Structure 1
Amino acid sequence: MSLYKVHFKWKNKEIQLTARKLDLTHPYFVSIKDIVFPEKSSLIINPAQEDILKDFGEADHVMIPFQTVLLIEEYPEEKRGDKVRQFKILEDKKGEGK
C-alpha cells in the first residue's frame, strides 16, 4: 500500500498531509482520506505539527481545491521495526585469575 504526501497552501502557510487514500476524480478538489499523523513524542513538541493536528486531526475526509496543491508524492508504506535494539553485554575479564 502506498502513502501519499500532499503539499498545499492553507491559511498562508505551506502544509503537508500524509494519507493512505487519495482521490483525484472530483472536478475541482483533491480528496484526502485516511490521514496519517506521526506518533506523538513526549520529548519533542513541534508547533507546526500541533497546528496541523488542531486543524485536520479529527477529520475523516478532507477536500482541498486543486489551485492550492503544490505537490503530491507517492511512497511505499514501510513497516517499522522495533524501536528498541538489543545489545550484548561485554563483561570485563581482566579481574579473572587474581
Structure 2
Amino acid sequence: MASEPVYKVIFQNGNQVFEVFARQIYQSDMWGFIEIEEFVFGERSQIVVDPSEEKLKNEFAGVKRSYIPLQAVIRIDEVEKEGAAKVSENTAREGNVASFPFPGANLPQPSED
C-alpha cells in the first residue's frame, strides 16, 4: 500500500517566510486561496528543540485547515517525508519574493488641468 503523500509548502506572511509540511493541499472553493490540512511536524525524539519549529507548532496548534492566498505561495513540493518546519525572516530589501501586482496599482493619476 502506498503511503500518503507529504507536501512542503513555502509561503510568505508579512516579512516572514513559512515552510510547513502537510498531508492535504488543494485549491480552495474560496477564490484566490489554497487550503492546507493535516499539518505534519517532526517527532520530539531528539533532545535538541528547534525554536522555529516549536513556534510554528504552537501557531498551528488546533488549526484544522489554513487558507493561504495564492499570491503568498512561493513553492509547493511533494516530498518523500516531512522535515523540520521553519519560519525565517525575509531579509532581502528588494528580494525576489514580492506580491503579485493587482490591477490599478500603478495607474497614473489624472491631472487637474
Per the TM superposition, whether the score is higher than 0.5 is yes
For residues 54 and 22 of structure 1, the distance between their equivalents in structure 2, rounded to whole angstroms, comes to 20
Deviations 1:20-61 (A, max 9, x none): 111124321110011111112451111111110121122111
Structure 2: runs of 5+ lacking an equivalent: 83-113
Pair 1:77–1:45, CA change in 2 (3 A): closer
Deviates more, 1:1-10 or 1:18-27: 18-27
Pair 1:11–1:54, CA change in 2 (3 A): farther
Amino acid at match of 2:54: E
Counterpart in the other structure of 2:21: 18
Q: Root-mean-square deviation (CA), in Å?
A: 1.8
- Which one has the largest radius of gyration? 1
For residues 6 and 77 of structure 1, the distance between their equivalents in structure 2, rounded to whole angstroms, comes to 13
Point out 4+ residue stretches in structure 1 off by more than 4 angstroms.
none
Amino acid at match of 1:65: P
Q: Note the 1:1-98 alignment, pairs <5 A.
A: 1-26=4-29, 27-41=31-45, 43-77=47-81
- TM-score, normalised on structure 1? 0.70
For residues 77 and 9 of structure 1, the distance between their equivalents in structure 2, rounded to whole angstroms, comes to 22
Query: Taking every aligned residue pair, what percent have the same amino acid on both sides?
Result: 29
Amino acid at match of 2:59: D
Pair 1:56–1:18, CA change in 2 (3 A): same
